[in-house]
């Protein structure tokens, strides 16, 4: 009888794969930029796409940024930067552009104003830039 639990994984869930690659990409960009520009490193502000797209909800975007920050810290510590300094830099360099018009598009899926506010509250600690526009939920 074959033990399938030790069989190699041939396929990976597309959502998990794309999330992992996106996290790695943002962490790599931030770290390489920091190594080159130090205190003049541009801030990487990841914008929520229109509702319905990948990483468009607060929970998804929050996880993306938090994990990219963790990856940045791992890279920085391996490179000889102290962990507390690396965490400060990661928090400064990796954040969110919260597009109000994009999250408001949840309304076309039946979400209410209160749901939109809850999304904003969840992401608020990571926001370093805001796009304001009124699209009436469409």
Predicted confidence (pLDDT) per residue in 58-108, tens digit: 999 999 999 999 999 999 999 999 999 999 999 999 999 999 999 999 998
- pLDDT tens digits for 16-68? 999 999 999 999 999 999 999 999 999 999 999 999 888 999 999 999 999 99
**60 within 8 A of 70, measured Cβ to Cβ:** no
Q: Beta-strand (E) ranges in the chain?
A: 44-47, 94-99, 127-131
For 38, 68, 87, 135, the CA distances from 81, given in Å and listed in that order, are: 12, 17, 10, 44
For 4, 5, the CA distances from 1, given in Å and listed in that order, are: 9, 12
- pLDDT tens digits for 5-28? 677 777 888 889 999 999 999 999
**Cα–Cα distance for residue pair 56/47, rounded to 1 Å:** 8
């Amino acid at each position: 009888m074959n033990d399938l639990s030790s069989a190699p994984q041939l396929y990976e869930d597309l959502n998990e794969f794309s999330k992992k690659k996106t996290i790695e990409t943002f962490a790599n960009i931030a770290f390489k930029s920091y190594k080159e520009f130090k205190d003049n490193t541009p801030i990487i502000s990841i914008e929520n796409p229109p509702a319905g797209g990948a990483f468009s909800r607060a929970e998804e975007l929050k996880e993306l940024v938090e994990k990219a920050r963790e990856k940045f810290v791992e890279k920085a510590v391996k490179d000889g930067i102290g962990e507390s300094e690396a965490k400060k830099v990661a928090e400064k360099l990796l954040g969110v552009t919260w597009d109000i018009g994009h999250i408001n598009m949840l309304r076309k899926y039946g979400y209410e104003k209160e749901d939109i506010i809850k999304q904003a509250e969840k992401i608020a600690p990571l926001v370093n830039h805001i796009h304001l526009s009124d699209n009436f939920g469409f």
